[in-house]
Amino acid sequence: MKVLISSEEIQQRVAELAARIVGDYAEEPITIVGVLTGSLMFLADLVRRLESPVRIGLIQASSYRGTATEPGQLEIGPELLPDLRGRHVLLLDDILDTGQTLSYLVEHVKRLEPASLKVAVLLRKMGRQITPLQPDYCGFEIPDRFVVGYGLDFNDQYRNLPFVGVLDG
């Protein structure tokens, strides 16, 4: 497997994103809503670097299942969300691919009446986006390749890799 983004590069960029987020929110408490399951590594590393008061919520959304390398029908699982009404919310996902999942989730969270809503992604796959969504925070722009590691999987494998790699085959 070819390493696309090393563990060191990821940690450096997460620290930079955390600094920007702290600067943007100052002392305001924020609620970070992580999209399961791919965002877990990013979520854990990011919140450890935030100096602001943080609440964590989770939502499950998936358009890749099993051995699929192309998105299928979007499925939203049970939500583990705190009350978001009047809160500053940061929706956090592992990858912005076509944009369909994140766009749907943005609209879903907006209906919950947050005070503000921003979007952060670790990766943005170039050339695949079909929905006009501009993330407020983006770790890395990557080529249109199927990637795994640092939370991203193929058939529930490779999430534990400390780097992002291009899956062979």
Please indicate whether residue 97 is annotated as part of the active site: yes
Long-range contacts (CB closer than 8 Å, 24 or more residues apart) made by 12-15: 13/139, 13/140, 14/42, 14/45, 14/46, 14/49, 14/122, 14/139, 15/49
**Which residues on adjacent β-strands are paired with residue 149?**
152
Instruction: List the catalytic residue out of 97, 136, 153, 168.
Output: 97
Sign of CA dihedral 10, 151, 65, 74: negative
Distance between CA atoms of residues 36 and 47, nearest Å: 15
Angle at 160 between CA 159 and CA 161, to 5 degrees: 95
The residues annotated as belonging to the active site are 97
